[in-house]
Structures are given as C-alpha cells and as structure tokens.
Amino acid sequence: MTTTLIPILGDQLTPDISSLDGADPDTSVVLMMEVADETTYVSHHKAKIAFILSAMRHHAARLRQLGWTVEYVKLDDPDNSGSFTGEVARAVERHSPDRIVVTEAGEWRVAAMLDQWETRFEAEVEIRPDTRFIATHADFDDWAEGRSQLRMEYFYREMRRKTGLLMDGDKPEGDKWNYDKANRKPPPGGTLDMPRPIEFQPDDVTREVIDMVAKRFADHPGSLDSFHFAVTHEEAMRAKRQFLDHALPCFGDYQDAMLTGEPFLWHSILSPYINCGLLDPLDLCRDVAERYADGKVPLNSAEGFIRQIIGWREYVRGIYWREGPDYVARNFLNAKRDLPGVYWTGDTDMHCLSQAIGQTLDHAYAHHIQRLMITGNFALLIGADPKQVHEWYLEVYADAYEWVELPNTLGMTQFGDGGLLASKPYASSGSYIDRMSDYCTHCRYDVKQRTGEDACPFNALYWDFLARNEDKLGDNRRLSMPYRSWEKMDADTKRSLRASARAFLDRLDGASGAD
Ligand code: FAD
Ligand code: DLZ
Ligand code: SF4
C-alpha cells in the first residue's frame, strides 16, 4: 500500500496546513518531532519552548481526534536523533513511504534541511507552499519587481484590494487607506478599564512540558512562573474573542502607548498563536472588519489592526524570502558593540529599559513600540552588532521565527539593510519615550537633561549616534531636520554631548549592566 509521510513542524499547527490537503488518513502517517536542534539553535526563552512544545502535543491529540495517524517524538525519547532530518530518516526506516509531503519551512535554515530530503531519501518529496499567507512568494516578487523602494504602504494597498478587507468597491473604507496618525495617543491617565488577556491555567500536558523545560533548559533566559499562554485552538479562539470584545475598540488609539507595570495594554497578544498556526490571520482580520461593519469598533482601530497583519506581517515575510539567507549578515552602519548583559537581566536604572526587558523575561512578550523604540532604539544608539540584536529577539519572544523577526529587527530597528525596510533609522532621544509613556516619571534620570550625571542617557546617545554615522546618514532627507539642529549647536555643546555619550558607553562596556 502507498504510504505518505507528512512531517508537521512546530509552527504548522493547523489541520488546514497545506501538507494535509487531499491526503488520505488511511494511508498517511503524520510525523511531529520535538528536536534538540530547534530548541537550541538559539537559547529560546523557557516559556517560548514550553509554549511551542505544549501546543504541538495538543495539536497531535487534535489531529488524532480528526482521524489522522500521528507519530509524535518527544524531546526526551531515548532514540530521538535531535534533528528534523534525523527523525524523518527514522520514520522512513519504519514506514518506507513512497512520498514525503511537507509544507515549506518558515526559515532559510530549515528550508535548507527540507531541500536535502529529495536526494537523501528514496521517496518522492513534495514541498508545498504555506497557504496561510495572503501573498505568495511570486505575488511579492511581482509587486517588488522594478521598484526602487519597497515601501510597506503600497504593498498593503495591494493586500487590501486582494482580500477586499475594509474596501468600498475599489475605494478604501472611509476614503483613506491609513489611519496611523489617529493611532498615536499618549497613555490614558487611569488604567481601571484596561482589558486583561485571559490567563489560561496549565493542564497536565502543559505542566509536564513546563517541568521538563525547567530542568532541561535551566540556563535559557526567562521565567516560567507566569506561563498563561493558550496552547490549543479552542483556547486561542477564546483569547481572540477576548481581544475583539474588550481591547480592539481602543487598539488604534493606544497602539503606541507604554505604561509602567502594564505589559499588554490594548494589544491583542495573539502573535504567538497566529505564527504557530493556532489562529488563522485572515479569519482574524475578517472578524475585525465585521466588528467595524457592525459599528462595534472605530475605523482607526479596525484599519490599524488589519494593517499590522495583511500589511506589515505579509510585507516582512516577503522581504525575508526575497532578500535571501545573507540578509542576516547585513550591517550597514558597521555596528560592532556586544549586546550588553542588561538585555538578559533587565537590571538597570533606566526605567523604560528595565520595564521592557523585565516584562519580556517574565512573559516572553513586549508590544511593538517597546520592541522598536525602547530595546531596539537603545541597541541602535549604542551601536550594538545587529546580528546579536537579532539573536536576542529571536530568543526572547514567544512569537519569534526568523521570517518575521529578522526584517523587523535587522531592517526596521537596526537599519542594518541601509534603508530597504525603513526610510530612516528609528532613532530617538528620550523625548519620544516621555511623550508616549509614563516611564520617565518613574525614572532616576531626568529626560529633560542632555548631559550630566542625571541626564537621560537616550539624549546624548541620540546625538552621538547621528554624529558618529553622519557619513552614512547625513544625506538622508528624512534626517535633514536633526542634522540641521546638530549643525547649529555650538562646539562646546557638541563636545559635551559626545563626551557624555562616550562616558556612558565606557561604563556600559565595563559593566554588564546599562548604567
Ligand atoms: P498587536 O499589537 O495586537 O498587533 C496585531 C498583530 O499584527 C500581531 O499579532 C502581529 O501578528 C501583527 N504585527 C504587528 N506588527 C507587526 C510587524 N511589525 N511585523 C509582523 N507582524 C506584525 N512579530 C512577530 O510576530 N514575531 C516576531 O518575532 C517579531 N519580532 C519583532 C522584532 C522587533 C524588533 C519589532 C520592532 C517588532 C517585531 N514583531 C514581531 C512585530 C510586533 O512587535 C509583534 O507582532 C507584536 O508586538 C505582537 O504582539 P501582539 O500580538 O499583541 O500585536
Ligand atoms: C521554535 C521551535 C522549538 C523551540 N522547538 C521545536 C521542536 O522541537 N519541534 C518543531 O517541530 N518545531 C519547533 N520549533 C519551531 C520550529 O523552529 C519552526 O517550525 C521552524 O523554524 C520552521 O520554521
Ligand atoms: Fe528612559 Fe530616559 Fe525616560 Fe529614564 S528618563 S525612562 S532612561 S527615556
């Protein structure tokens, strides 16, 4: 009898995955593998490993219920070879399949493994497109072809047209494509009405995984103490409804806001579920559009949210695959500083940094503006090596897979690609953080001061960054204002800003903390 082997990777946790399309449950074997290669190619946050392995185990049970034969290899199985290819080889020995059908991987590293299977195994190997995305690789390449700049906004409009989301015929709903300007409100004063994500209590399966992770990955960053992720499709659907009902209405207004002790605000916290397959991104966007059509959420929230998914998410994926495996090595600004130890401890007097890193270590989560304007901005200003910055983001967030993390980190926050993704570096002084958060009011530093013992370090670092990189950034039209301000400063001011930055960086290099 013809047998088909269907390996399902840890970020392919949906019964709608393309590798299962048209397969016959009677003659197919699904293979799911917990492997050391995947758990250690970077030192993932403990909660990220626990989340993915628990979601995988629950998904295997779901597939069995749906009638599939699933072989599941656990990390501590004595014969576990430790790699996808090794486990497929063992399954090939057991079943001598005629065909291996797999959905394409989400990273160049794993794609290269899958590409070897054709020559390594006698079975015919079929690698199928991942149909969970709206744009195929060809769609993105067609759009990108011949353009001198690949700006997200224009790609996003194509995706709106393709999906029909928030479209009124061929016009955008409300006559405008983008309501970003309405989405920059500072944080509200009182936080009593803040929505809370559901805290899912670990079941037996999750508890077993958590115990195993605590022992086996004790030296990995992060804590397991506040593990409350959804680990099944049903739980993820509950998390989705919670977001739609309670957070989405204000999502737009407070998308960029940051508040002390409030890691989640009005964000969805759905990225771990979308990226591993527990939730479908297009379904989610349709739900959001429906809430808008029913008058339950304002247009700036609905459009802002849908843009993140069919715009940014699809766009960074397109960039990742288009730019190729060497993208990771780009370092336009030639930044070489080691990422300081504070990124693994959160132990610093810089309140914004300790909040963003502290919650990251606690929850394997930080929202976009914290990633971009706190940890990303700080790494950019101090001149941290973009590859190390990239590896840190890949390690610490439960939603991190290279296809989505790398362009956001190396491209958007570190300007490592020289402006392919961002038209200017996302560099800012303390004033942006002060405007968008309450962090500065809780900080030992004074955001208004630029030099001296009590001055906010972001201020001198910002000017030092511009001065240091003037040969590479001086011509950037979007930076003409700050460069003009820099030129107008007298020599003493310039000298003292650069000396303050130098002193801070020397302290940083000498210590493992950030202050
Ligand atoms: P919400 O604020 O509720 O946004 C809704 C959804 O939009 C998210 O769930 C996500 O699916 C999508 N989204 C929003 N912004 C982006 C974006 N820039 N790129 C892709 N999708 C986006 N997102 C990841 O999913 N994985 C990553 O590894 C990742 N790394 C990042 C690294 C850096 C340096 C930066 C600046 C951003 C990164 N992002 C990443 C994007 C974004 O920060 C997260 O998607 C978001 O914070 C997830 O939280 P949420 O679900 O509450 O998002
Ligand atoms: C991230 C991750 C981890 C930590 N562990 C596993 C695993 O043991 N088995 C698995 O199938 N997938 C895991 N993953 C997710 C994979 O790294 C991800 O599926 C690949 O990077 C392909 O994109
Ligand atoms: Fe951060 Fe500076 Fe504000 Fe302190 S004063 S919270 S270091 S921006």
Q: Which of 381, 447, 500 to mutate to test the pocket of ligand 3 (most atoms within 8 A of CB)?
A: 447
Domain 4-128 has CATH 3.40.50.620: yes
Answer whether 445 contacts ligand 3 (Cβ < 6 A): yes
What is the 3 state secondary structure string of 430-494?
HHHHHHHECHHHHCCCECCCCCCCCECHHHHHHHHHHHHCHHHHCCCHHHHHHHHHHHHCCHHHH
Alpha-carbon distance of 257 to 276, in angstroms, equals 27
Spacing, Cα 430 to ligand 2 middle (Å)? 37
Answer whether 308 contacts ligand 1 (Cβ < 6 A): yes
Multiple choice CATH, 342-510, 2.20.25.90, 1.10.579.10, 1.10.1040.20, 3.40.50.720: 1.10.579.10
CB 151 within 8 A of CB 145: no
In this structure, which residue's CA is closest to atom 11 in ligand 1? Answer: 271
Answer whether 409 contacts ligand 1 (Cβ < 6 A): yes
Instruction: Find the ligand nearest to 445 CA.
Output: 3
Q: Taking the chain (515 residues) in consecutive chunks of 10 residues, what is each chunk's mean pLDDT?
A: 91 98 97 97 98 98 98 97 98 97 98 97 97 97 90 95 95 92 75 84 98 98 97 98 95 91 94 98 98 95 96 98 97 98 96 98 98 98 98 98 98 96 95 96 97 96 98 96 97 97 93 53
Residue-wise DSSP of 185-229: PPPPS--TT------PPP-HHHHHHHHHHHHHTTTSSS-STT---
Q: Which of 350, 381, 461, 508 to mutate to test the pocket of ligand 3 (most atoms within 8 A of CB)?
A: 350
Structure tokens at 102: 């797999």
CB 57 within 8 A of CB 72: yes
In this structure, which residue's CA is closest to atom 10 in ligand 2? Answer: 10
| Ligand 2 atom closest to residue 8's alpha carbon, by position in its atom list | 11
In this structure, which residue's CA is closest to atom 13 in ligand 2? Answer: 10
Answer whether 369 contacts ligand 1 (Cβ < 6 A): no
Instruction: Find the ligand nearest to 254 CA.
Output: 1
Answer whether 372 contacts ligand 1 (Cβ < 6 A): yes
**Which DSSP state fits 334?**
-
In this structure, which residue's CA is closest to atom 3 in ligand 3? Answer: 440
Spacing, Cα 295 to ligand 1 middle (Å)? 26
Answer whether 397 contacts ligand 1 (Cβ < 6 A): yes
CATH 3.40.50.620 residue ranges of the chain are: 4-128
* pTM: predicted TM-score of the whole model, two decimal places: 0.97
Spacing, Cα 58 to ligand 3 middle (Å)? 42
Q: Where are the alpha helices (DSSP H) in 364-449?
A: 368-369, 377-382, 386-396, 402-406, 430-436
Looking at residue 513, what is its pLDDT? 47
CATH 1.10.579.10 residue ranges of the chain are: 342-510
Q: In this structure, is the dihedral angle defined by the CA atoms of residues 164, 168, 170 and 173, taken in order, positive or negative?
A: negative
CATH 1.25.40.80 residue ranges of the chain are: 137-323
In this structure, which residue's CA is closest to atom 7 in ligand 2? Answer: 34
| Ligand 2 atom closest to residue 35's alpha carbon, by position in its atom list | 8
Spacing, Cα 71 to ligand 1 middle (Å)? 32
In this structure, which residue's CA is closest to atom 23 in ligand 2? Answer: 106
The CATH architecture that domain 137-323 belongs to is Alpha Horseshoe (1.25)
| Ligand 2 atom closest to residue 34's alpha carbon, by position in its atom list | 8
Looking at residue 510, what is its pLDDT? 84
In this structure, which residue's CA is closest to atom 1 in ligand 3? Answer: 352
